[in-house]
């Protein structure tokens, strides 16, 4: 009985277009440049022409994409964070406070919230840097919940009511452009960063931090820098959403902001920031987009009580969203651990065939 | 090459460390002179690696001091000690597995100590790394330089670990069981590298079990047994002592 095994070989066009040889023909150039170019152009241009509901979905997906990429970055350094909500909430509150208590405009509050928020979170997590693996994750999980309770108990920064009446963006188009540009800057920035020697050292810390230490590198300082970068990205997302909602309150520390980014990054493929972004769009699109699509498209066509049932179902779905994120995470870890992006990339670059095993 | 000036590079005084009830290192004292090749030997579990961990900052001593060029470095963090010019290899060799062999050396080259030596910038570190690999015996531009470090055979892993240590251009190099697992042929190619280090004036400390090869190159030997230094002197003299012979009776030392 002859046995067969699966063999994966790079496609001809991939081999021909590797490195500078892509410039040898238009076909090869397109093969290399189209996959990044099309999503970038779509992301920058398309949302401006969508109806308002879908623009809000895109905004939401972009915010979660930022949180997912920030999580992916921390994982590359070896820190598994279960508390992206910490970065989000701190950024949100700093922006809100600067607006309400100081009256500063948006173009001041958001950058300040980004860097102050990032610094604050990094300093907050400083004592935990020396702890190994699981303990870091536990502390990050608990910190946003703790801050939520502190705000509730001490009634500072608006307490349970939160801060309202914050300045909005000039228009939805401005909101869209800012967030899509931010997502693309993060995407390409992170990818470029991890390709440098600095990124190599960060990845080495995850692999074997003892060797890195004995090579004369202060791994705690490097981890602190990584926390600052990841925290700043998350804080930007929080500050941005504060001005979109024109409100900040305890929900800024919701578990949503911790769990969805993890699910998004795993579904899309960890290690590739494009995967995190893709995962965020898939999950937010499924959960917020699809029900909305069904409701809006079919609502006019269906009798009232069916519409009522569908609305209830959508509400139920929304309440179950954490379960759905978690289930999709588990399903992907089991069925497609490499993630969607890796899968697409592999299919694009390689083809498979069965070969007989020589005995 | 005999050194005339006997500068004390590393001073160990009354170093002690216990883990719970286990006394790993007990009141160990010796001086290391510049340009020496010191061997640290002893049966398994005699505290050799703990002693190295105490010197290089991975473990804080319960008592005692470590001085380097007169400066007290007891209990400093490992990266600060590495920046002073003390580098070490690890007994359990674990490279950065997913990245190519020469990229492994980019990490020590990134250390602040190396600011003056490499030009900075992305390309420079790669070529310095390849030069370093060639120094330890990787054939230049062969496939083995570009292989992911995790798939290297054992002999090359040891060379890579040695290269990682040498990349820091340290003055004091501590090698923890470098010879273990190597064939006679591999040893024959690695020992000249160590002799070259001695010629360059570096100071080397070697923890070893393979005594025959060690004694050919070592100037001096310290013997540990149950955490205590029971002998300190030239290899031939030390092996004549009764308590040293007794320490090795029953364990797998090769004479």
Tens of pLDDT, residues A332-342: 999 999 889 99
B23 shares contact with chain A (CB less than 8 Å) = no
Q: Which residues of B touch A270 (CB under 8 A)?
A: none
A25 pLDDT band (50/70/90 cuts)? confident
Sign of CA dihedral B24, B30, B34, B37: negative
Cα A303 from Cα A146, distance rounded (Å): 46
Query: Are the beta carbons of B78 and A213 separated by less than 8 Å?
Result: yes
The DSSP call for residue A250 is G
CATH number of A50-354: 1.10.3470
Look at residue B3 in the predicted model and tell me its pLDDT: 47
Specify which residues B8 forms β-bridges with: B33
Query: Are the beta carbons of A208 and B83 separated by less than 8 Å?
Result: no
**Is the CB of residue A355 less than 8 Å from the CB of residue A3?**
no
Residue of A78, A195, A197 to mutate when probing chain B, most B C-beta within 10 A: A197
B107 shares contact with chain A (CB less than 8 Å) = yes
Query: Are the beta carbons of B83 and A216 separated by less than 8 Å?
Result: yes
Distance from CA of A196 to the nearest CA of B (A): 7
Other CB atoms closer than 10 Å to residue A172's CB: what's the count? 17
Query: Are the beta carbons of B79 and A211 separated by less than 8 Å?
Result: no
For residue B87, the chain A residue with the least C-alpha distance is A214
B37 pLDDT band (50/70/90 cuts)? very high
Look at residue B162 in the predicted model and tell me its pLDDT: 92
**Is the CB of residue A255 less than 8 Å from the CB of residue A271?**
no
B97 shares contact with chain A (CB less than 8 Å) = yes
Look at residue A318 in the predicted model and tell me its pLDDT: 82
B148 shares contact with chain A (CB less than 8 Å) = no
Q: Which residues of A touch B60 (CB under 8 A)?
A: none
Distance from CA of B53 to the nearest CA of A (A): 11
Cα A262 from Cα A70, distance rounded (Å): 10
The beta-strand segments (E) located in B90-131 are: none
Share of chain B above pLDDT 90, in %: 38
Query: Are the beta carbons of A215 and B125 separated by less than 8 Å?
Result: no
Cα B166 from Cα B172, distance rounded (Å): 10
For residue B114, the chain A residue with the least C-alpha distance is A216
User: Edge to edge, what strands does the sheet with B86-88 contain?
Assistant: B86-88, B172-176, B203-207, B37-41, B220-225, B228-233
Structural domain boundaries of chain A?
Answer: 11-38, 50-354
B140 pLDDT band (50/70/90 cuts)? confident
The contact set of A with B (CB < 8 A) is 196-198, 200-201, 203-204, 207-208, 210-219
B117 pLDDT band (50/70/90 cuts)? low
**Is the CB of residue B217 less than 8 Å from the CB of residue B37?**
yes
Q: Which residues of B touch A78 (CB under 8 A)?
A: none
Cα B162 from Cα B181, distance rounded (Å): 14
Lowest mean pLDDT of A14-18, A68-72, B87-91, B181-185, name the range. A14-18
Query: Are the beta carbons of B94 and A208 separated by less than 8 Å?
Result: yes
The DSSP call for residue A288 is I
Look at residue B245 in the predicted model and tell me its pLDDT: 79
Lowest mean pLDDT of A6-20, A142-156, A185-199, A333-347, name the range. A6-20
Look at residue B112 in the predicted model and tell me its pLDDT: 81
Other CB atoms closer than 10 Å to residue B85's CB: what's the count? 19
Cα B159 from Cα B186, distance rounded (Å): 10
Residues 6+ apart with CB under 8 A from B25: B15, B16, B17, B47, B50, B51, B54, B61, B227
Stretch (H or E) spanning B251: none
Query: Are the beta carbons of A215 and B83 separated by less than 8 Å?
Result: no
- A87-130 pLDDT, tens digit each: 999 999 999 999 999 989 989 999 999 999 999 999 999 999 88
Distances (CA, A) of A321 to A56, A58, A144, A256, A268: 18, 18, 19, 9, 18
B112 shares contact with chain A (CB less than 8 Å) = yes
- B205-244 pLDDT, tens digit each: 999 988 888 988 999 999 998 888 888 888 888 888 877 8
Q: Which residues of A touch B174 (CB under 8 A)?
A: none
**Is the CB of residue B40 less than 8 Å from the CB of residue B207?**
yes
Q: What is the longest distance spanned by two Cα atoms in chain A? A: 79
B215 shares contact with chain A (CB less than 8 Å) = no
Q: How many residues does chain B have?
A: 255
Q: Out of B83, B87, B96, name the one closest to residue A208 (CB).
A: B96
Alpha helices per DSSP H over chain A: 12-16, 26-45, 52-77, 84-102, 106-124, 133-154, 172-195, 197-207, 209-214, 219-245, 256-268, 273-284, 290-298, 304-319, 321-335, 339-349
Closest CA to A142 of A91, A83, A90: A83
Residues 6+ apart with CB under 8 A from A19: none
Query: Are the beta carbons of A217 and B106 separated by less than 8 Å?
Result: no
Lowest mean pLDDT of A156-160, A164-168, A332-336, name the range. A156-160
Other CB atoms closer than 10 Å to residue A299's CB: what's the count? 13
Closest CA to A136 of A91, A75, A87: A75
DSSP letters spanning A257-285? HHHHHHHHHHHH-TT-HHHHHHHHHHHHI
Better-scored residue on pLDDT, A297 or B47: B47
Distance from CA of B43 to the nearest CA of A (A): 25
Structural domains of chain B sorted by starting position, each given as residue range(s) with its CATH number in brackets: 1-76+210-255 (3.40.50.300)
Better-scored residue on pLDDT, A255 or A358: A255
Q: Out of B88, B95, B122, name the one closest to residue A214 (CB).
A: B88
Look at residue B4 in the predicted model and tell me its pLDDT: 44
B1 pLDDT band (50/70/90 cuts)? very low
For residue A215, the chain B residue with the least C-alpha distance is B108
Lowest mean pLDDT of A13-27, A64-78, B97-111, B206-220, name the range. A13-27
- A206-240 pLDDT, tens digit each: 999 899 999 989 999 999 999 999 999 999 999 99
Stretch (H or E) spanning A350: strand A350-356
Specify which residues B228 forms β-bridges with: B225
Supply the ipTM of this predicted assembly.
Answer: 0.86
A134, burial (CB in 10 Å: exposed 0-12, middle 13-18, buried 19+): exposed
For residue B163, the chain A residue with the least C-alpha distance is A215
Q: SS3 for B196?
A: helix
Q: What is the mean pLDDT of residues B79-100?
A: 90
Predicted TM-score of the model (pTM): 0.89
Q: Which residues of B touch A217 (CB under 8 A)?
A: 79, 107-108, 110-112
Residue of B56, B79, B84, B129 to mutate when probing chain A, most A C-beta within 10 A: B79
Size of interface A-B (CB pairs under 8 A): 80
What is the residue-averaged pLDDT of chain B? 86
Q: How many residues does chain A have?
A: 359
Q: Out of A197, A198, A214, name the one closest to residue B82 (CB).
A: A214
**Is the CB of residue A58 less than 8 Å from the CB of residue A47?**
yes
């Amino acid at each position: 009985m002859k046995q067969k095994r699966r063999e994966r070989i790079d496609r001809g066009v991939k081999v021909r277009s590797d490195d500078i040889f892509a410039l040898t023909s238009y076909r090869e150039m397109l093969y290399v440049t189209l996959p990044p170019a099309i999503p970038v152009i779509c992301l920058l241009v398309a949302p401006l022409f969508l109806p308002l509901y879908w623009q809000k979905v895109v905004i939401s997906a972009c915010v979660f994409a930022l949180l997912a990429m920030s999580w992916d970055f921390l994982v590359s350094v070896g820190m598994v964070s279960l508390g992206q909500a910490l970065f989000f909430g701190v950024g949100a509150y700093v922006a809100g406070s600067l607006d309400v208590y100081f009256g500063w405009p948006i173009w001041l509050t958001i950058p300040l919230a980004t860097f102050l928020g990032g610094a604050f979170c990094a300093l907050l997590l400083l004592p935990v840097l020396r702890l190994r693996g699981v303990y870091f994750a536990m502390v990050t999980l608990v910190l946003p919940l703790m801050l939520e309770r502190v705000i509730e108990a001490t009634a500072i920064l608006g307490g349970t009511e939160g801060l309202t009446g914050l300045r909005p963006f000039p228009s939805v188009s401005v909101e869209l452009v800012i967030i899509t540009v931010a997502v693309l800057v993060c995407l390409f920035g992170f990818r470029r960063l991890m390709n440098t020697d600095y990124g190599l050292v960060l990845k080495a810390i995850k692999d074997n931090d003892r060797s890195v230490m004995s090579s004369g590198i202060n791994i705690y300082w490097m981890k602190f820098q990584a926390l600052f970068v990841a925290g700043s990205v998350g804080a930007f997302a929080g500050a941005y959403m504060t001005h979109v909602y024109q409100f900040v309150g305890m929900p800024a520390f919701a578990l949503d902001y911790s769990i969805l980014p993890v699910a998004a990054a795993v579904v899309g493929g960890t290690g590739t920031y494009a995967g995190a972004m893709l995962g965020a769009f898939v999950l937010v699109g499924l959960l917020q987009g699809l029900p909305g699509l069904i409701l809006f498209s079919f609502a006019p066509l269906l009798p009232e009580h069916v519409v009522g049932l569908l609305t209830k179902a959508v509400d139920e779905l929304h309440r179950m969203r954490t379960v759905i994120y978690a289930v999709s995470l588990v399903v992907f870890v089991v069925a497609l651990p490499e993630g969607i992006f890796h899968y697409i990339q592999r299919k694009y670059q390689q083809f498979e065939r069965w070969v007989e095993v020589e005995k | 090459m005999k050194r005339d000036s006997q500068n004390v590079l590393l001073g160990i005084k009354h170093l002690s460390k216990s883990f719970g009830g286990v006394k790993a290192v007990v009141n160990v004292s010796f001086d290391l002179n510049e340009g020496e090749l010191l061997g640290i030997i002893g049966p398994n579990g005699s505290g050799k690696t703990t002693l190295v961990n105490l010197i290089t900052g991975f473990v804080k001593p319960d008592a005692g001091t470590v001085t380097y060029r007169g400066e007290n470095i007891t209990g400093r963090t490992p990266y600060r000690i590495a920046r002073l010019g003390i580098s070490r290899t690890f007994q359990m060799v674990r490279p950065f597995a997913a990245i190519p062999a020469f990229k492994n050396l980019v990490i020590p080259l990134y250390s602040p100590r190396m600011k003056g030596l490499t030009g900075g910038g992305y390309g420079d570190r790669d070529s310095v790394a390849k030069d370093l690999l060639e120094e330890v015996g990787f054939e230049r531009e062969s496939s083995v330089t570009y292989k992911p470090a995790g798939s290297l055979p054992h002999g090359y892993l040891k060379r890579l670990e040695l290269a990682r240590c040498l990349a820091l251009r340290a003055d004091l190099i501590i090698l923890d069981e470098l010879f273990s697992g190597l064939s006679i042929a591999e040893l024959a190619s690695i020992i000249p590298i160590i002799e070259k280090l001695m010629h360059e004036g570096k100071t080397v400390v070697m923890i070893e079990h393979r005594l025959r090869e060690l004694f050919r190159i070592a100037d001096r030997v310290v013997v540990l047994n149950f955490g205590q230094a029971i002998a300190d002197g030239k290899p031939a003299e030390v092996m004549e002592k009764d308590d040293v012979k007794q320490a090795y009776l029953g364990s797998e030392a090769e004479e």
